Amino acid sequence: MAVLDYIIPGYKGYRQRTESRGTDRAFRDYMTAKLKESHDQLEQVKMQISMDVLKMDLLTDAEQTTALLTKVRDRLRWANQGFAGNLFGGAEETEAIQAVEKFDQDLEGLRANVQAQLDTLAASVLTAENPKPLFFALMGALRQMDSHLNERESLIRKLLH
């Protein structure tokens, strides 16, 4: 297909946008699936908490954390692609696409941090220690991810105007 990039004017930009859309969709599907796994793990944590009368007061924290995790997962799943075809090729478009891809790479690191916090929380629920501070740490990691999604949306809005 690279031959067509040179024969048909504008084809290279079209092909790059199409590939970028596909990559973006696959990445968001991957991230959504990973966050679904985290959601399922958090549901198991809530189940363990509900079986221990001494830890019942943690259910409110668990519910709030679940709500935020669901929000982040859904925002990511339905996020704008950023390559809707409003751009017209050239260096500006390439830089814009790379900026969104950089944001997405950073998003994977934030997701991994959420998972690490959740793993720590899940392990602590089984022990006698108080996991309440770990809920706050997990909420902080989720808020950081949510904030990153806000920045991504802002970047995409700039690209489309």
- pLDDT 10s digits, 75-121: 988 876 655 545 455 666 667 777 777 888 899 999 999 999 999 99
Alpha-carbon distances, residue 70 vs 66, 139, 152 (angstroms): 6, 12, 18
Q: What is the CATH number of the domain that holds 107?
A: 1.20.120
Count of positions (residues) in the chain: 161
Query: pTM for this one?
Result: 0.80
Rounded CA-CA distance 7/57 in Å is: 67
Instruction: Give the range of the structural domain holding residue 90, as residue numbers without chain letter.
Output: 2-160
The domain total for the chain is: 1
Q: Looking at the predicted structure, is the pLDDT value of residue 32 above 60?
A: yes
74 or 20, higher pLDDT: 74
